[in-house]
Homo-oligomer: A and B are copies of this chain.
């Protein structure tokens, strides 16, 4: 885990390649940061275990997100049992390397955000 993995080649939206745009394309999806956060926190997890921890996600969206994260090389999927069928989702080296980013996001949220009260509820 300590030896840095080779760099990921990732495309980027704009004309010229930009680290932050590209990073945003990796984790700038609604559920990706949370999924990675849960995997960092709880370690390798099964599908439904992850679904419980990522509060409010549907199986389809979790399935789609995990597939996306696998394609991006951040998450690993391993079948650990056939009967009963069990899989294990874990972070790759790249996925784990995101800890600093995820931690920073969580810390920022802790510091600068608060849970809204009923009074804040948008009446719109």
Copies of this chain, complex-wide, total 2
Q: How far is the CA of A13 from the CA of B34 in the complex (A)?
A: 11
Given A97-B108, A104-B100, CB of A120 within 8 Å of CB of B22: no
Determine whether the beta carbon of B55 is less than 8 Å from that of A15: yes
B8 close to A105 (CB less than 8 A)? no
Cα distance, A76 to B15, chains bound together (Å): 27
Whether A87 sits at the interface, judged by CB under 8 Å, is no
Distance between Cα atoms of A114 and B112 in the complex (Å): 32
- Judging by beta carbons under 8 Å apart, are A21 and B34 in contact? yes
- Which residues of B lie under 8 Å from residue A4 when comparing CB positions? 111-112
CB proximity of A84 to chain B, nearest CB, Å: 28
Q: Are B19 and A30 in contact (CB under 8 A)?
A: no
Which A residues have a C-beta under 8 Å from some C-beta of B? 4-5, 7-25, 27-34, 37, 54-57, 94, 97-98, 100-102, 104-117, 120, 122
- A-B contacts, 14 of them at CB < 8 A, read A8-B114, A9-B113, A9-B117, A11-B122, A14-B55, A18-B34, A19-B110, A21-B55, A23-B105, A23-B106, A23-B108, A25-B30, A28-B33, A101-B108
